[in-house]
Structure 1
């Protein structure tokens, strides 16, 4: 399925050496509030008799769903041969996630919280958005409907869509969708990935979306994405070198957060119509408030989704896909993020002259570009292995 309009793609490739990052070397954004804790999450937990715990946030008494299997990801991660090591790694990742979000709402933030939630997440739109009217079966895709229980006790409804055979015999796409709607609204697009890339797919509804429990927050979405990644690693036993993380719009910010953590390894990250941050989007749409937003340094925003500082930490290969006719997110934001992703081992920017906000997968050469990039990564790996053998 494609678009008959002529397609001109701008490709830029940069290769740099990679090195293992440490959390201690991460430079936090000046736009984020300082992450002050008298005792870190990791230290406070490990010193507490090494018991199984969730110190970042306590599990709420959410009623467990009964219409599909529930998979407790925390138990999967920590009930291993080395439980203490699993706990330490999980706590370290939760500590990192907490360090990337705003800790206080501020007076103006509390006054405008409902308004910000509505415009950023749109999880109650369109009408009847919490009802799933289609399943992958309607598109001839083999699947399982499951709930992933997060470390803080929410139940994230997901579709695990799989190809027949060994899961590691092909790529697996972790699909992080944008604001509004639910996973059933993305099935037509997922079918294109399923057929064109012949891949497995895991798609989740963030907390508060679709049939998932809870309410959406920036912190919550980051935890949900980490939980989905852990499902692929610890439940499906998929090798990191076979995982592609793809995020679109709001999901691109979530994807950037996920792969910016040096403990999460993937083959490729794809950021579709990504934006720099919520305050930058606000300045783009609210031109009359641009000077005020600049002076306050984003103090009025509860959620930042600050991707600009995080892409500087991304080391995995990545692609930026942007539609030049996107009326929601200006294309120059993808260009800016691309230019700041300097630590990536390989990166490319594809611009679709006739692409808008939600139609890039039907653009000419969309899947060809992705497949070509994947093939180049495989060739590069093969060259490295041959060099080692010599």
Structure 2
């Protein structure tokens, strides 16, 4: 029995060690394939590049809106842990149709960009995207994991407004939902604490979530909204990756309403 117990313990320790080493492959699911030119996907889209403070050169898409006429802010989209900017083109097209300029960025390792994603790296990527936009007013739109990136960016570079789509309180809380059999809190190297930071953001905040989300349960998003004293938009029955959570009326409406409120107050 003792020998059997030792073998079991050794196997468990080995598995935990492998999870520690390779955990970022479970967290970040980059589509690193090169993407086509912006103009082939979004009419009027432009290919742009910028360089992070640690020297990573990133490709992105910028799509002009009617900023000069409307005075509306630009929307900076920080995506979730999977896909690339091409997957978020429908969101950009819908926002641009409402007169909002959009910058679709990709993190390091995503969308043909070099580098390996980490919590610190994603923040530096978002910071470089914000610096690329200069002094204009910007609304940050953070999607899932990108909501954590946008929240940290909002502390470094305060936005005109912040929209968080399907945010979690922190990565460990989301991890416990998806991997309940693992000691997620002990294993994680990247933390992404949203709830403990969001209260320091000095900008209007809107939290959008699907009531049918099983990846980031609504209770986590509601907890973020409560910590931020934010407005909430609940999309009835929607799951985490449903199309309605990409460019549905409720999601787009939340961004447009906030942007117009900001534009009208300038």
* TM superposition score normalised by structure 2: 0.84
Answer whether contact 1:247 1:255 (CA < 8 A) is retained.
yes
User: Per chain length, whose mean CA-contact separation is higher, i.e. which structure has more relative contact order (CA < 8 Å, sep 6+)?
Assistant: 1
1:131 lines up with 2:16 in the alignment: no
Distance 1:271 1:173, change over 3 A: same
Q: What per-residue deviation string (whole Å, max 9, x for no partner) do you get for residues 92-132 of structure 1?
A: xxxxxxxxxxxxxxx99864245311221111x5xxx4131
Which deviates more from structure 2 when the two are superposed, residues 222-231 or residues 351-360?
351-360
Match of residue 227, structure 1, among 108, 128, 133: 128
Give the direction of change, closer, same or farther, for the CA distance of 1:167–1:210 in structure 2 (3 Å limit): farther
Aligned mate of 1:311, from 173, 192, 198? 198
Residue 176 of structure 1 pairs with residue 71 of structure 2: no
Q: 2:217 aligns with which of 330, 336, 342?
A: 330
Is 1:370–2:263 an aligned residue pair?
Answer: no
In 1, Cα distance between equivalents of 2:51 and 2:197: 26
Deviation at 1:288, TM superposition (A): 3.1
Where does residue 39 of structure 1 map in the other structure? none
Pairwise CA distance, 1:283:
1.4
Is this contact kept in 2: 1:167–1:200, CA < 8 A?
no
Q: Distance in 2 between matches of 1:168 and 1:315?
A: 24
For 1:340, the equivalent position in structure 2 comes to 227
SS at match of 1:259: helix
Counterpart of 2:3 in structure 1 is none
What stretches of structure 1 of length at least 5 have no aligned partner?
Answer: 1-106, 383-390
Is the contact between residue 139 and residue 191 of structure 1 (CA under 8 Å) also seen in structure 2?
no
Contact in 1 for aligned 2:162/2:205 (Cα 8 Å):
yes
Match of 2:6 in 1: none
| Contact 1:323–1:357 (CA under 8 A) maintained in structure 2 | yes
Q: Which whole-Å CA distance do the structure 1 matches of 2:141 and 2:53 have between them?
A: 23
Q: Give the aligned partner of residue 62 of structure 2.
A: 160
Identify the match of residue 250 of structure 1 among 141, 145, 149: 145
Q: How many residues align?
A: 251
In structure 1, distance between residues paired with 2:159 and 2:91: 22
RMSD of aligned residue pairs (Cα, Å): 2.5
**In the aligned structure 2, how far is the partner of 1:219 from the partner of 1:282?**
19
Distance 1:221 1:365, change over 3 A: closer
1:136-181 superposed Cα distances (whole Å, 9 cap, x missing partner) = 3234521321221111111111112113673983321001111122
Q: Distance in 2 between matches of 1:217 and 1:370?
A: 27
Does structure 1 residue 349 correspond to structure 2 residue 232? yes
- Aligned position for 2:25: 118
Deviation digits for residues 175-234 of structure 1 (CA, Å, limit 9, x no counterpart): 111112221222122111111x3111111110111111111111100011111111111x
Does the C-alpha gap of structure 1 residues 186 and 312 become closer, same or farther in structure 2, counting only changes over 3 Å? same
Q: Give the unaligned 5+ runs of structure 2.
A: 1-13
